[in-house]
Chains A and B, each alone.
Chain A
Amino acid sequence: MTGVSRQGRVLAALALLLAVAVVTPHTTPFLLLLVTRILILAILAMSLDLLLGFTGIASLGHAAFLGLGAYLTAILAVRYEFGLGWDFGLVILFGSVLGAATSAVFGLFAMRASGVYFLMITLALSQCVWGLAYRWDTLTGGDNGLNLPGRPVLGPIQLSNDTAYFYVVFAFFAVSLLALYVLVESPFGKSLVGIREHEVRMRILGYNTWLHKYIAFIVSGAFGGLAGVLWAQVSGQVSPDNVTLTTSVDALLMVVLGGPGTLLGGVLGAGIVLFLREYLSTLVPWWQYVLGGMYVLTIFYLPDGVLGTLRRRLRKARITPTVDARPRPRRGQELEINGGGIE
């Protein structure tokens, strides 16, 4: 399929992630917390990649799902003292369900538009969530947001310990990555890519493209909600800032910078963006020039993102010498595969 075999790529990714899991707790406390945040926003970025990279629809309102999960966690913890023990598991479930349910409603509206109007309608939808977070202060704490009472205690394990919480986040990150990988490699995922490449053709082939996109939107919202729950507990605080346009556009940059359609690119993008926002900002007052410059440079010099560019280079290096030697029947095979899709 590509220059580097799929098994090779999966193994390399696994080894890298394992290294992150093993090494991070032995670094500094600051870095531990930073990587925890990166992994959480990586879940958000991967969920957006499912839409942007695999389905080809760009949402300008993904912060809404992060915000919903985060506010649900904070409101349950602060107002109902729920989710401070083992019931945190339920909060995670509720957060994902809330994300999925909301995107099921949002999707009904958003899917009516396409292209630039899809950007506009998703922006308007996330502004609805932001408006409630900002103004409904008896529930959400308004502009000040809500401070959580502390991370849950699971029997003998105190998640207020950053190392323990890191492992929890890492576990959910790994599960999300696996689930999304299985999804995009499944026939359903392949249909999404087909829609991205040529929606009309897919419709002619008999696929219900609207339903495919709708389901992708719901799944994406579910993982966005999950990321929100984890995010609320890592920062110990939620505020309307989590739901602003800035957060939505940052998520888009994470995907585009890392490489749309690669899943792991979202992790890389989240790493770079959060490194700038949370680390560089502590070092120099002019860090935002670097972040803004990153946006501009990505658009002009890395249209396929870091991983996408890397993959193209590798593919070129491997394929170029064998182009002429490639056996003819391969084309026939491809046709057959396509033919199978028609049935």
Chain B
Amino acid sequence: MDAKFWLLQAFNGISYGALLFLLGSGLSLIFGVMRIVNLAHGSYFLLGSYVALTVIWTAGSWLLAIPVAALAIAAVGLLMERVFLRAVGSDPLRQVLLTFGFALLFQQAALDIWGGNNLEINPPAMLTRSLVVVGLYLPVYRIFMLALALAIGLALWLTLDRTRAGARVRATVDDAQMARGVGIDTSRVSTLIFALGALLAGLGGVIGGAFLGVYPGLDFDILPLAFAVVIIGGMGSLGGAAIGAVMVGLADNFGKVLFPQISYFTLYAPLVLLLAAKPTGLFGRE
């Protein structure tokens, strides 16, 4: 185990974290703005993969699949928020059960439409090569994932931090009642953020489909990891989600390589300690 090994594993962990950021940042924003625990978030990821596959099969374009899948999932999230979540109120238990019911419905629908086989999204050949950097073979696709997550993270941060719309969102996160008092349409902010979160998850599904595969059950496999990201970073914090994603990616990767037998335990046990010490996460505010 020389320096190369550590560098390569760190690269793998961080690039996996990039994927988790796409999934976790949306979940975190949704929680921050609306205090909703969304157990259907993993389903958005899986549905994103499947929609992308359909686009690739019919139109033959991977590039086209990215926006189509992301927008389709945003529409699903928008409908779910407007029609159902809005009506259910603020009790977290009821939100959990409702969104889990939707996760089951989505899972069955995906099974009916796309079947139960393990599928894979094949990105263009340009992205499947490897680059050799200081003697390390780095898959281009992982570099692409990192770059994409960085770009999206930056865009999100600039929007939230520098624009009027972003200020409205931040105000809603901090104090929804006060925000309403000064004339911000928090209801619209909520809907848009929920759709944005779904969009990011769907996008993650397209990107992750080449990496994790696409199969029934991926939704519930990936969901606890998304929550791990959100828990570490603090719900509602974008920077927190980024740090949480990298930490979960690294912990997952190094855990599997160094002590495979207890690798998930080493991922979730620190979460418990963190939650017990600071329930709102590293960067969350209550």
Stretch at the interface among A30-38, A113-121, A185-193, A312-320: A113-121
Q: Across the interface, do B112 and A286 meet the contact criterion of CB distance under 8 Å?
A: yes
| A210 at interface by CB-CB < 8 Å | no
Residue in A110, A116, A125, A299 whose CB lies within 8 Å of B98: A299
CB of B179 closer than 8 Å to a CB of A: no
Q: How far is the CB of A132 from chain B (nearest CB, A)?
A: 5
Is B211 part of the binding interface, using a Cβ–Cβ cutoff of 8 Å?
no
> Which residue of B has the minimal Cβ distance to A286?
B108
* A297 to chain B: closest residue by CB: B101
| In the bound complex, CA of A286 to CA of B268 (Å) | 34
Which residues from chain A contact B112 at a C-beta distance below 8 Å? 285-286
Given contacts A119-B92, A121-B275, A299-B98, contact A245 B262 (CB under 8 A): no
**Which A residues lie within 8 Å of B272 (CB)?**
109, 121, 124-125, 128
Kindly supply a per-residue 1/0 record for chain B positions 97-124, scoring 1 wherever the CB is within 8 Å of any chain A CB and 0 otherwise: 1101111110110011000000000000
Given contacts A109-B273, A113-B275, A299-B88, contact A249 B39 (CB under 8 A): yes
Give the interface residue-count category, chain A: 35 or more
User: Which residues B111-146 have CB closer than 8 A to chain A?
Assistant: 111-112
- Tell me, in angstroms, the Cα distance from A52 to B96 when the chains sit together: 14
Instruction: Check A58 against B100 for contact (C-beta < 8 Å).
Output: no
Given contacts A120-B227, A124-B272, A295-B98, contact A132 B262 (CB under 8 A): yes
Which residues of A, 287-317, contact B by the 8 Å Cβ criterion? 288-289, 291-296, 298-300, 303
**CB closest chain-A residue, reference B276:** A109
Whether B88 lies near A117 (C-beta < 8 A) is no
Report the Cα distance A127→B231, complex, angstroms: 13
For chain B, residues 22 to 54, give those with C-beta under 8 angstroms from any C-beta of chain A.
35, 37, 39
**Residues of A close to B279: CB separation below 8 A:** 112-113, 117, 120-121
Chain A residue, CB-CB nearest to B225: A127
A68 within 8 A of B: no
Minimum CB–CB distance for A303 against chain B, Å = 8
Contact assessment for B97 and A252 in the assembled complex, using a CB-CB cutoff below 8 Å = yes
Answer whether A127 and B224 are a contact pair too, CB < 8 Å, given A58-B93, A121-B272, A121-B279. Answer: yes
How many angstroms between the C-alpha atoms of A289 and B262 in the bound complex? 35
CB distance from B226 to the nearest CB of A (A): 11
> A residues within 8 A CB of B227?
120, 123-124
Q: Which residues of chain A are within 8 angstroms of B39 by Cβ–Cβ distance?
A: 245, 249
Which residues of the partner chain A approach B220 to less than 8 Å between Cβ atoms? 244-246
The answer for the CA separation of A117 and B93 in the assembled complex, in Å, is 11
Residue A7 at the B interface, CB < 8 A?
no
B contact patch SS:
helix
- Contact partners of A138 in chain B: CB under 8 A: 261
With the chains together, A288 CA to B116 CA distance in Å?
14
Does B228 make an interface contact (CB < 8 A)? yes
In whole Å, how far is B230's beta carbon from the nearest beta carbon of chain A? 8
**In angstroms, how far is the closest chain B Cβ from the Cβ of A294?**
7
B280 at the binding interface (Cβ < 8 Å): yes
Q: Which residues of B contact A119 (CB under 8 A)?
A: 37, 92-93, 96
Asked if B37 contacts A135 (CB within 8 A), the reply is: no
Collect the chain B residues with CB atoms within 8 Å of residue A86's CB: none
By a CB distance below 8 angstroms, the chain A residues around B264 are: 127-128, 130-132, 134-135
Given contacts A109-B272, A120-B227, A246-B220, contact A293 B101 (CB under 8 A): yes
In the assembled complex, the Cα of A108 lies from the Cα of B272 at a distance in Å of: 11
Name the interface residues of B203-260: CB closer than 8 Å to any CB of A. 220, 223-224, 227-228, 231, 260
Q: Does A227 contact B (CB under 8 A)?
A: no
- Which residues in window 150-192 of B have CB below 8 A to A? none
Closest B residue, CB atoms, query A260: B93
Closest CB in chain B relative to A36 CB, distance in Å? 25
* Given contact pairs A109-B273, A109-B275, A131-B262, A116 touches B102 in the complex (Cβ within 8 A): no
B216 to chain A, nearest CB (A): 10
* A121 to B276 alpha-carbon distance, docked (Å): 8
Contacts of B268 in A (CB 8 A): 124-125, 127-128, 131
Query: Taking CB as reference atom, which chain B residue is nearest A130?
Result: B264
Residues A131 and B263 in contact, CB atoms below 8 Å apart: yes
Q: Which of A117, A128, A253, A299 contacts B280 (CB 8 A)?
A: A117
Nearest 10 CB-CB pairings of A with B: A131-B264, A295-B101, A292-B104, A292-B105, A288-B108, A117-B279, A109-B276, A127-B268, A121-B275, A116-B92
A-B contact pairs, 24 of them (CB 8 A): A109-B275, A113-B279, A117-B275, A119-B96, A120-B37, A120-B231, A120-B279, A123-B224, A127-B268, A130-B264, A131-B268, A135-B260, A245-B220, A245-B224, A252-B93, A252-B96, A253-B100, A256-B93, A288-B107, A293-B101, A295-B97, A295-B100, A296-B84, A300-B88
Residues in chain A within 8 A of chain B (CB atoms)? 52, 58, 60, 108-110, 112-113, 115-117, 119-121, 123-125, 127-128, 130-132, 134-138, 244-246, 249, 252-253, 256, 285-286, 288-289, 291-296, 298-300, 303
Q: A109-B275, A292-B101 are in contact. List 20 more A-B contacts (CB 8 A).
A: A52-B93, A58-B92, A108-B276, A112-B276, A116-B35, A117-B279, A124-B271, A124-B275, A135-B261, A245-B39, A252-B93, A289-B105, A292-B102, A292-B103, A292-B107, A293-B101, A295-B102, A296-B102, A299-B88, A299-B101
